[in-house]
Structure 1
C-alpha cells in the first residue's frame, strides 16, 4: 500500500476539485486517481494531529466540511502517530547502533486508525451502550451488533474531524494556538541570532542546529540512556562535539527536522512564519514513514536538497496535480 501524506493546502486543493471550484479544475484528475486508489486499497492517505487541528481552525462551517469530506473519503480514517511518540523507538535504535544496546529497542505503531491512535487514547468518547440499543430495538439480530459498533465509531470519528472552533471552546479548550506558534518563531529567531552573532557558517551551523535540538529532546534521550545504564553526562562526554551531528542524524525524524531548520536558518532574509511550527512538527514524520509527501514549494525544495528521497525512499512533490501520475504508476 502506497502511503501518501498531503499538507493542509493540498487537501484544500482536492476539496476545491471535489466541489467544482474553478481553482480546483487542475486537480480533478488527481482527485479521481486518489479516490480510485483509496477505494481499491492500493493507497492510504493518513491524517495526523495537525490535519485535525488545522481543519478545525476553519471557522466557516461549509469550507471546513468541504475539506473534511475529502479527508474522510480518502483517508478512511487512517492516521499517523506524532513524532514525539515515535522518538523513543528511534532513540533506542540509535543507541543500539552506537552501544549495542538495548537488546530489544522499543517499537511503535506509526500508522493506525482514528483519532484515538493519533492521540494515544487522549481523545475518548462514550462507548455504544448495547443494552440501551437492545431495549429500544430488540428485533435487531445479534450478528448485526459488531457492524453497528463500527458504524457508531466511524460516525463519531467523522464528527471529531468536523469539529470547529466553537466545539473546541465548548469543551473548555482554546482553539487559537497563535501564542504557541509565536513562541516557536521566537525560539528559531533566537537560534538564528546566535548563529549570526557568532559568525557561524557551513558545518558549524549544522552543529549548532543539532546541538539545540539535542537539548530539546534531552528528556527522551535521558530516559532511553537510563534504560541502557548510561547517564546524560556520560553520554555527552562519549559523544563529544563531533558526535552530536552523527547521533542526531541517526534519528530519522530529527534528521528531517534539522534539514528543514538548517536550511531556513541559513537564509536570514526568509522569516519564520507562525504556520512553520506545524510544518516542522508534521512533515518530518511523513517524510520518513510515508512513500509520497505533497507539500508547499519551500519545504519541497528543502527536503529535496536534504536528499530525503535517497535516504528514505520518499517522493516529495509540490503540486497535488502530480499525484495522478504517481498513483497510476503504483503497482496494484
Structure 2
C-alpha cells in the first residue's frame, strides 16, 4: 500500500477541489486519483495527531468540516503513531548496532486505525453497552452487536476530528493558551544567537544542532541505555564527538528533524515562526515512513537538500497537483 502524507495546506487544496471552490480546480484530478487509489485499497492517506490539532484550530465550522469530510474519506481513519514511541524503537536499534543489545529492541507500529492508535491506547471511551435494552441485548445477533459497537466507535472518531475551538473551550482547553510553539521559537532563537556569537558555519552548525537535539532527547536515551546496563555518562565518555553525531544521524526521525533545523539556521533571513513547531514535529515521521510527502515548498526543498528523499526513498512534493503523475506512475508498477 502506497502511503501518502499531506500537510494541512495540501488537505485544504483537496477540500477546495471537493467543495467546488474556484481555487480547487487545479487539484480536481489529484482528488479523483486519490479517491480511486483509496477505493482500490492501493493508496492510504494517514493522519497524525498534528492534523487533528491543526484542523481543530479552524474556527469556521463550514470550512473545517469541508476539510474533515475529505480527511475522513481519504484516510479511512488510517493514522500514524506519535514520534515518541517511534524514537524509542530507533534508539534501541541504534544502540543494538553499536553494542549488540538490547537483544529485543522495542517495537512500534507506525500505522494503525484511529485516535486510539495515535495515543497507543491512552485515549479510550466506553464500549457499546447493551444492558440498557430490555433483554440486555440477548435478542441481538452477535454480528449486529459487533456492528453497533463499530458504528459507535467510528462516530466518536468522527467527533474528535470535527471538534473545533468552541468544543475545546467548552471542556476547558483554549488553543491560544498553549505556549509550546512560542517556547520552541524562543529556543531556536537562542540557538541562532549562539551560532552568530561563535561565528559557526558548515560543520559547526551541524554540530550544535545535533548537540542541542541530543540534549532534547536525553530522557529517552537515558531510559534506553538503562535497558542495556549503561548510564548516559558512560555512553558519552566512551563515544567521541563524531561518534555521538553519527549516533544522532542513525535515528531516522531525528536525522530529518536536524536536517530541517540546520537548513533553517543556515538561512538567517527566514525567522523562526510558531508554525514551524508543528512542521518540525510532524514531517520527520512522515518523511521516513511514508512513501510520498506533500508539504510546503521550503520544507520540500530543504529535505531534498538533506538527501532525505534518497536516504529513505521518499517522494517529496510541494504542489498537490503533482500527485497526479506520482499516483499514475504508482498504478502502473
**Alignment TM-score, normalising by the size of structure 2:** 0.96
Q: By how many angstroms is 1:265 displaced? A: 0.6
- 1:48 and 1:81 in contact (8 A); partners too: yes
Q: In 1, Cα distance between the equivalents of 2:295 and 2:263? A: 16
The answer for the alignment partner of 2:197 in structure 1 is: 197
Unaligned runs of 5+ in 2: none
Q: Following the alignment from structure 2 to structure 1, what is the Cα–Cα distance between the partners of residues 78 and 177?
A: 25
Distance 1:306 1:44 in 2: 26
Residues 207 and 244, structure 1, Cα contact 8 Å, conserved in 2: no
| C-alpha displacement of 1:131 | 2.2
Report the CA distance shift for 1:172/1:326 in structure 2 as closer, same or farther (over 3 A). Answer: same
Partner of 1:307: 307
1:238 equivalent in alignment to 2:238: yes
- Provide the rounded CA distance (Å) in 2 between the counterparts of 1:45 and 1:143: 29
Provide structure 1 residue ranges, at least 5 long, that are not aligned to the other structure: none
**1:317, 1:62 → 2: CA distance?**
28
Distance (Å, rounded) in 2 between the aligned partners of 1:134 and 1:162:
33
User: Structure 2 matches for 1:268-279, cutoff 5 A?
Assistant: 268-279=268-279
TM-superposed CA distance for 1:142, in Å, is 3.4
CA contact (8 A) 2:68 2:162 kept: yes
Cα separation, partners in 2 of 1:140 and 1:300, compared to 1, 3 Å? same
Partner of 2:184: 184
Deviation for aligned residue 1:151: 1.4
SS of 2:9's equivalent? helix
Q: What is the distance in 2 between the residues matched to 1:25 and 1:54?
A: 24
Matched-pair contact (CA < 8 Å) for 2:252–2:288: yes
Q: Deviations over 1:193-218 (max 9, x none)?
A: 10110011111110110000000000
Map residues 81-96 of structure 1 onto 2, 5 A cutoff.
81-96=81-96
**Separation in 1, partners of 2:312, 2:208:** 24
Q: In the alignment, what sits opposite 1:109?
A: 109
Deviations 1:51-104 (A, max 9, x none): 000000001100110000000000000000111121111000000111111111
- Preserved CA contact (<8 Å) 2:130 2:137: no
Residues 90 and 251 in structure 1, CA contact (< 8 A), matched pair in contact too: yes
Shift of 1:174: 2.4
Deviation of 1:121 after TM superposition, in Å, equals 2.4
Structure 2: how far apart are the matches of 1:80 and 1:71?
Answer: 14
Give the aligned partner of residue 142 of structure 1. Answer: 142
CA RMSD of aligned residues (A): 1.5
- Show CA shifts across 1:143-186 (max 9, x none): 32111211111111111100011111222222225522111001
Provide the secondary structure at the position in 1 that maps to 2:79. strand
Counterparts of 2:269 and 2:53, CA distance in 1: 29
The count of residues paired between Structure 1 and Structure 2 equals 332
- Which residue does the alignment assign to 1:70? 70
Change (3 A) 1:133 1:260: farther
CA distance in 2 between partners of 1:132 and 1:85 (Å): 39
Q: Output aligned runs, 1:22-171, within 5 Å.
A: 22-133=22-133, 135=135, 140-171=140-171
Alignment partners' CA distance in 1, 2:122 and 2:140: 33
**Is 306-315 or 282-291 further displaced after alignment?**
306-315
TM-score, normalised relative to structure 1: 0.97
Distance 2:215 2:15 in 1: 40
For 2:189 and 2:116, the matched residues in 1 are separated by: 35
